[in-house]
Structure formats: C-alpha cells, structure tokens
Amino acid sequence: MTKAIEEQLELLAENAVDLFSREELKRKLETTRRDNRPLRVKYGADPSAPDIHLGHVVGLNQLRRFQDCGHTVVFIIGDFTGMIGDPSGRSQTRKPLTREQVAANALSYQEQVFRILRREQTEIAFNSNWLSPMGFEEVIRLSAHVTVAQLLARDDFSKRYAANQPISLVEFLYPLVQAYDSVKVKADVELGGTDQLFNLLLGRELQKVMGQEPQVVMTLPLIEGLDGVNKMSKSLGNYIGINEPAKDIFGKAMSISDDLMWKYFRLVLGWGREAIEQLQSEVQSGTVHPRDAKDRLATALAARFHDEAAARAVSEEFRRVFSAGQAPSEMPELVVTPDLLDGEGRAGLMALMVAGGLCASNGEAKRLIQQGAVKIGEEKATEVQAKVVPVDGLIIKSGKRGFVRLRLA
C-alpha cells in the first residue's frame, strides 16, 4: 500500500504485453493515492469451464500484484453470457448452461481463485445482475455505440469473414457486453490475455462514450499448453489444472519442452528476470541439467497448489518410476474374478488388460502387445495369446504410464 508509485508501476508493467497506457496508469495511481482509494481492477471469467488452469494463473498472478499494491480486484463472473452460450456451434465448450450449472461452476471458480487472490481485496460480480434486467431498447441503444467496421477490425472476425466462415450476431455482441461490464463496475484497469485486446479496448471506448474516465488496458502473454503450440485451454485438453493432484501437475509440467519452461517460470511462478537468467546460464553451461531445472519448476508448481511435502514426494516418485523405471508405489488394482480364468486357472492377457482398464478393447490390447508395450511383472509380453497365471501382487504394465496390480479374489 505504501509502495512508491514508480515502484508499483515497474512491478505492474513487468509482464504486460500491451499497456494503454503507461502514463495513464501512472496518473491513475497518483490520483488514487491522493484520494486514498484503491484502483478497481477488472478481470472477467467465463464460467462454462470451471477448471482454473495455469493459463488463468498468469492473469491471477497479475491481479494479485495489484492487490499487493493495495488495489481492489473486481472479478466478474460472466454468468449471463454463459447461459446464452454460443450458437455458432464452433466450440463445444460454449454450450448454454443452466442456472444451476452456472451457480455450481461459479462456486468452484471462487474457491480456486482465492487460492491466489486475497478475498478481502476482491469483489465478485455476476454480470447477469445488470444484464438480465436490461430491456431490448437499452440493448439497441448500447449497440448504437459500435459500428460493424469496428467489430470487423478484430482479428479473428476479419479472418473468419474473409474465409467465408460463419460469425453469429451473438459473437458480435459479446465484446459489447464485456465492454458494458466495464462501465457498470467503473473499472480503472482491465486485464486480459493478448487475445482479449480488442474487447478490452472496446471497454475503454464505451466508458468514454458514457462519460466515464476510460480504463487502462493491460494484456498479458498467453502461455502455450502441453503441446507447446496452442495456447493453454480446456477445450484443447493441453492444460494443467490447479486442482489436479500433485502427481499430475508434476508429470504434466515435466512433459513440456525446455524452451517453454522459462515462460512458466516467469508467468506462472512469478520469478524475476535475474533469477531466471541465472538458472538459464547454469543450464547453458552444463552446471544444471535441463531435466533438473524442469524438476524445480514442476516441484514448485506442485508445492504452490498443494504443499512442499507433497511436491517433494511426487518428485521422488517420478524419479523412481520414470528415471529408474521402477513401479509406482500406488496403482490401480484388479481383483481377478473367476470369470477371467480358464479351466486351468489361467487368464488371458488381453482380458486382464481390458478388465484392468489399461485399454478399451481386445484389439487395442493386441496392438499394445504387438508393439512391445506390455510387461507382465519383469517380463515383456510377446504373445498376443499369452496366458497369465495370476499371482497376488503381479503387476501388468502397459506403456510408460499404465500399471495395474492383480489381486486374487
């Protein structure tokens, strides 16, 4: 709260990609300091995908920085838009939600968000509060402030339009809705990913038109997901969720490419530039193995969303299973029931694999065996038709990650 203006500015702008504008932000910081009131920093969330992942964490971290400087976060849950959905059918994640679903998602959202944000410096707002009661007249008045050409200027709209792909009117309206939210909550600043730039700027425009001081717009980098190419998103399934078990957070983090890990250090862990450059040079000089650098990342992530002890445990477990090739300490079990056995007390390997959940069908089991992915105990299975004499505790392994332990009934 007492940080000097310049210092705040430095900290807040560090990771920003776009900032409109630095001067304006500075001025706002000064006036709020003088009037002794915090800035209102707006951030919008889509309640249709209630799992918060590391991509969101980038934004949340930045919000937290604002809070650390004494400012207030206005966290908007887009329940109204969530209930309308996206009729273009392009995206399955945009199915309309029921009121109950939205409420449930919003609740789980808050619970996750407050693992990063300070509750006492956060206002939660549901945009249905002001959008639902709006009459059509108001909606039309609102849309009068924006031209089609303006909307078409947005990158993905212009691309789709040029490619003769559908753009529904609702999609056109969404940016307007988001901009109107800014007016309603009297935002001083709005944050979003770089893909939100257009929408954020529209909020600025609309505030001006409606007689408010325009919000400062700040965009943050998008982080690529596990595939290393596409931005992290739930619908692509390339994400690390903050509610995932420590083991999964760790394992997924280990699978990202070396190039990408620095971005995670900076934007998800919030490491400063010096610390990152230091580690980078150690990796470059060979002092630190890249694997170990990534282990630090993965451990820190697991620790952040669980705790130190759990993080250390998964790191060790990981080393044992994947570096040393040993069996994990815990794995699913399959109780061998009599119907799996033939007359001589043996069970077909394929049947065991299907029953144990290692694969979905016999055909798949066969493929895995033929490709040399399957081990019975220590022995590699080579025969598709192999029979196994079940022994209590015997482990069947499929691929790098599939394990099942047999239990006799």
Partner RNA sequence: GGUGGGAUAGCGAAGUGGCCAAACGCAUCAGACUGUAAAUCUGACGACUCACGUCUUCGAAGGUUCGAAUCCUUCUCCCACCA
Q: Would you tell me which residues interact with RNA (CB under 7 A)? A: 88-89, 161, 164-168, 227-228, 250-252, 254-259, 289-291, 294, 318-319, 322-323, 354, 360-364, 366-368, 371-373, 384-385, 398-402
Calpha distance 172→42 (Å, rounded)? 21
Quote the least distance from Cβ 144 to RNA, whole Å.
22
Quote the least distance from Cβ 354 to RNA, whole Å.
7
- CA distances (Å), origin 109, targets 58, 68, 377: 16, 21, 43
Residue 286 DSSP class: T
Quick one: 19 or 288, whose CB is closer to RNA?
288
Quote the least distance from Cβ 288 to RNA, whole Å.
11
Calpha distance 189→202 (Å, rounded)? 13
Quote the least distance from Cβ 398 to RNA, whole Å.
7
Quote the least distance from Cβ 169 to RNA, whole Å.
10
Quick one: 285 or 371, whose CB is closer to RNA?
371
Quick one: 57 or 369, whose CB is closer to RNA?
369
Cβ neighbors of 186 (< 8 A, separation 6 or more) are 40, 212
- Could you tell me if 249 and 54 are in contact, meaning their C-beta atoms sit under 8 angstroms apart? no
Closest to 389 (Cα-Cα) out of 323, 331, 324, 336: 336
Quick one: 15 or 233, whose CB is closer to RNA?
233
Quote the least distance from Cβ 323 to RNA, whole Å.
4
Quick one: 186 or 401, whose CB is closer to RNA?
401
Quote the least distance from Cβ 3 to RNA, whole Å.
37
Task: Tokens for 104, please give them.
Answer: 């449930």
Calpha distance 365→99 (Å, rounded)? 43
Closest to 126 (Cα-Cα) out of 142, 106, 112: 106
Angle between helices 246-254 and 290-305 (to 10 degrees): 150
Quick one: 114 or 174, whose CB is closer to RNA?
174
Quote the least distance from Cβ 46 to RNA, whole Å.
21
Quick one: 294 or 306, whose CB is closer to RNA?
294
Cβ neighbors of 204 (< 8 A, separation 6 or more) are 20, 182, 214, 215, 217
- Could you tell me if 239 and 55 are in contact, meaning their C-beta atoms sit under 8 angstroms apart? yes
Quick one: 103 or 170, whose CB is closer to RNA?
170
Q: Which residue has the tokens 């969101």?
A: 56
Task: Tokens for 80, please give them.
Answer: 């109204």
Quote the least distance from Cβ 338 to RNA, whole Å.
18
Quick one: 115 or 367, whose CB is closer to RNA?
367
- CA distances (Å), origin 23, targets 29, 30, 102, 197, 201: 10, 11, 38, 18, 16
Closest to 102 (Cα-Cα) out of 156, 48, 39: 48
